[in-house]
A and B are shown apart, each in its own frame.
Chain A
Amino acid sequence: MHKLIRRLIATGIVTIPRSVPERFAQDAYESSRALLRQLGRALAVRHVDAGSCNGCELEIHAVNNPYYNLEGLGIHFVASPRHADILMVTGPVSRHMVPALLMTYEALADPKRVLALGDCAMGRGIFHANYATVGRVDAVIPVDITIAGCPPPPAAIIEAFLALIGTSALA
């Protein structure tokens, strides 16, 4: 156990020296305050993989690592769509995922908000519409926010969340 504790101390706090200075200047404190004002609690996100290549998922994992520490900004991923403020969808929407995506969308509480993460979800990725793929999320459910990239780097994901929180769109 002493080795573990030594390692913890040696690691210290590693969360980013904010790499995108202006945007990140509104730091955890400000985003939490904005969230408290609008929602009175943390922002809950439910993710659905609608046929992604798993690249977008790798970056969703990454924003939750200690370096980006998305939870520190008051944004956390939840297991049930019923607990979610935002549905985050990745992938070009394989037709086989459409029923599950629609069910998840239905289960969201109103107002339903949808974030399409990545070029594929936005309909500008490498997978085009065909017999197995719809080609974009907004052909299936309405999309409110998009984040571009293949996959979108963690900084872009965080920036988009901070922008959303900053505009009081959640109130």
Chain B
Amino acid sequence: MKTPLWQDIPWESVKGIAPTYRARVDKSQWRDVFLQCREATGRLIALWATDARPEQAEFMVHAVLLFADHWLWISYGMDETNPNYPDVSDIFPAAIRRQRAIYDLLGASSGASDTRPWLRHGAWLAREFPLRRDFTVSAATPGGHEESYAFVRVKGDGIHEMGVGPVHAGTIEPGHFRLAIVGDEIMRLEERLAYAHKGVEKRFESLGLIEGARLAGRMCADSTVAYTWAYAMAVEAMSGCVVPARAEWLRGLLLERERIANHLGNIGALSNDGGLAFGQTQFSLLKERWIQTHQRLWGHRYLMDAIVPGGVAHDLTHQDRAQMEHECNDLEQAVRILQDILADHAGLQERFLGIGCLTAARIEALGGVGLAARASGLARDIRTEFPSPPYDTLAPRIATRRQGDVAARVALRFDEISESLRLMRHILADLPEGPLISAPPMATGKQGLGCVEGWRGEVFVAIERAAPDGLHHVHIHDPSWQNWPLLEQAVIGNLVPDFPLINTSFNLAYSGHDL
């Protein structure tokens, strides 16, 4: 490792997706590692906190940071009576909301200036911290208590405030958007999320590690493959179990199928928002046929529970594979025709072009990831940055677009459909023979990481076992944490009627974020 700055730190190697080194750091090292990461144009993958009592008489705050050729997992021990840790939101703005969330769940403060709750609305009190081991549910009414939230006020002549959500006009997930507008122009957007917060980290504590895979697959249904894979990867890393090659390749196939299903659905939704209902009917039909194959071959339209710790639950016959090749050809042809029609439709392109623009520099500064970053020219993709099997063999060609507007995000989805089809064909042709699953993993290790490039971006899972009682803590991180702040920036200066279109073009997770 080229980290002379921390030669005195005893790094230990952690199993998971990338070469990862873990260590306890002290207060000044905590910020140093973040600064060094920033300088190396790395990024913050996840930031969370756990209760290490009673064994250690302390709370721990953890961060996983990505560098060019390795990852670092740093942990800082906080005093049990007054837990606090150094603020890093000036280095990585994506830390702002995570730090607020850490306070809501564990009561550890960063000293950052924004001390408003983020995950907590009124379901529990400001002095209660659900992730502390001595937390008990206070007898509250189902809805908890009313609490007002201090949205940032924009003042000035002719400025109006407009609030939408958490219940929206259509069938979408719950979230609240506060817009400051002048006439029809958006001056500022402030998001308020966590309406779907379900106390998932707590729920994981009551499930065994293997059972937990079902829960991991229900964090965010449109990314169930990415979540279960990342979770399985972390469990496997803890148990040192070797996943059979055939299972790794089938997982890749599932992940690319999930990516395609979502891109089809999203392009349809965007055409609809852009005023071309034809696109919606056509793409939703393609998606429907695509997920009917999931039902037929994997027994679930969205592929829930298809990945299990140790391998996969279903095999493909030669006949299935041959049929799937045809399916890929048919889809490719249909998508090509539709892409042509959409490109020719001046009205639709008018709605897409130049709307909801973000530059690469802006995304870089905010720490954006995944599809949204690639649509602005940043080639961020775990499949190529830290390829694990089967991607080390498949060598995905990452598509990027430069413009960073709605049109670029649409175009990128088309590019990614083609590339995912290519990867699928490669998998179907070269699928290794062998078993589907290795012996049930016995998770004896003390920690494991998993990370998978879902269709939105990198889905991350960390599992840590607290000795000696064997209780484990699961932390799950959705890329939407990094990308929701991008939406706030992307809408500035756009028209109110374009807001739904821009929002759909990012298509971020609510449930996956709120957990």
Interface, chain A (partner B; CB < 8 A): 3-4, 7-8, 11, 14, 47-62, 64-68, 77, 79-80, 91-100, 102-104, 125-128, 130-134, 139-140, 150-151, 153
Evaluate contact between B196 and A65: CB separation under 8 angstroms: no
Evaluate contact between A54 and B221: CB separation under 8 angstroms: yes
5 contacts between A and B (CB under 8 A): A49-B196, A53-B218, A54-B173, A55-B224, A151-B302
CB of B46 closer than 8 Å to a CB of A = no
Contacts of B124 in A (CB 8 A): 131-132
Evaluate contact between A66 and B130: CB separation under 8 angstroms: no
A132-B198 contact given A7-B337, A55-B302, A96-B123, CB 8 Å threshold = yes
Residue from B140, B199, B304, B338 within 8 A of A7 (CB atoms): B338
Contacts of A94 in B (CB 8 A): 123, 195-198, 514
Contacts of A139 in B (CB 8 A): 142
Residue from B172, B218, B340 within 8 A of A126 (CB atoms): B218
CB of B122 closer than 8 Å to a CB of A = yes
Tell me, in angstroms, the Cα distance from A153 to B224 when the chains sit together. 16
Tell me, in angstroms, the Cα distance from A23 to B30 when the chains sit together. 63
CB of B222 closer than 8 Å to a CB of A = yes
Tell me, in angstroms, the Cα distance from A29 to B137 when the chains sit together. 52
A127-B197 contact given A7-B337, A52-B511, A77-B171, CB 8 Å threshold = no
Evaluate contact between B196 and A52: CB separation under 8 angstroms: yes
Closest to B175 in A: A49
CB of B369 closer than 8 Å to a CB of A = no
Evaluate contact between A96 and B121: CB separation under 8 angstroms: yes
Contacts of B511 in A (CB 8 A): 51-54
Contacts of A49 in B (CB 8 A): 171-174, 196
Evaluate contact between B215 and A126: CB separation under 8 angstroms: yes
Evaluate contact between B123 and A95: CB separation under 8 angstroms: yes
Evaluate contact between A3 and B203: CB separation under 8 angstroms: no
CB of B214 closer than 8 Å to a CB of A = yes
Residue from B171, B202, B214 within 8 A of A60 (CB atoms): B171
Closest to B121 in A: A96
Evaluate contact between A54 and B195: CB separation under 8 angstroms: no
Evaluate contact between A131 and B218: CB separation under 8 angstroms: no
Evaluate contact between B304 and A133: CB separation under 8 angstroms: no
Interface 1/0 per residue, B260-298 and A, CB below 8 Å = 000001000000000000100110110111010001000
CB of B426 closer than 8 Å to a CB of A = no
Tell me, in angstroms, the Cα distance from A150 to B292 when the chains sit together. 16
Tell me, in angstroms, the Cα distance from A8 to B279 when the chains sit together. 11
Evaluate contact between B174 and A51: CB separation under 8 angstroms: yes
Evaluate contact between A131 and B173: CB separation under 8 angstroms: no
CB distance from B364 to the nearest CB of A (A): 29
CB of B194 closer than 8 Å to a CB of A = yes
Residue from A61, A125, A133 within 8 A of B284 (CB atoms): A61
CB distance from A78 to the nearest CB of B (A): 9
A57-B171 contact given A98-B142, A139-B142, A153-B301, CB 8 Å threshold = yes
Closest to B227 in A: A53
9 closest Cβ contacts across the A-B interface?
A: A55-B221, A98-B143, A132-B199, A95-B123, A79-B169, A65-B284, A51-B196, A130-B199, A96-B121
Chain B, 147-204, CB within 8 A of any chain A CB = 166-167, 169-174, 194-200, 202-203
CB distance from B347 to the nearest CB of A (A): 11
Evaluate contact between B196 and A62: CB separation under 8 angstroms: no
Residue from A54, A60, A64, A131 within 8 A of B135 (CB atoms): A131
Contacts of A59 in B (CB 8 A): 301
Tell me, in angstroms, the Cα distance from A95 to B214 when the chains sit together. 22
Tell me, in angstroms, the Cα distance from A151 to B338 when the chains sit together. 29
Tell me, in angstroms, the Cα distance from A54 to B169 when the chains sit together. 16
CB distance from B132 to the nearest CB of A (A): 11
Evaluate contact between A58 and B221: CB separation under 8 angstroms: yes
Contacts of B361 in A (CB 8 A): none
CB of B220 closer than 8 Å to a CB of A = yes
Closest to A68 in B: B288
Evaluate contact between B218 and A55: CB separation under 8 angstroms: yes
In this complex, the member of B137, B219, B222, B281 whose beta carbon has the largest number of chain A beta carbons within 10 angstroms is B281
8 extra interface residue pairs, beta carbon distance < 8 Å, beyond A77-B171, A131-B123: A4-B278, A49-B172, A54-B221, A55-B224, A79-B170, A96-B144, A98-B143, A130-B198
Contacts of B338 in A (CB 8 A): 7
Closest to B174 in A: A49
Evaluate contact between B195 and A97: CB separation under 8 angstroms: yes
Tell me, in angstroms, the Cα distance from A125 to B144 when the chains sit together. 22
Evaluate contact between B221 and A53: CB separation under 8 angstroms: yes
Contacts of B200 in A (CB 8 A): 127
Tell me, in angstroms, the Cα distance from A138 to B367 when the chains sit together. 42
CB of B341 closer than 8 Å to a CB of A = yes
Closest to B211 in A: A126
Residue from A14, A68, A133 within 8 A of B199 (CB atoms): A133
Evaluate contact between A3 and B344: CB separation under 8 angstroms: yes
Residue from B128, B214, B285, B509 within 8 A of A67 (CB atoms): B285
A51-B284 contact given A3-B337, A130-B137, CB 8 Å threshold = no
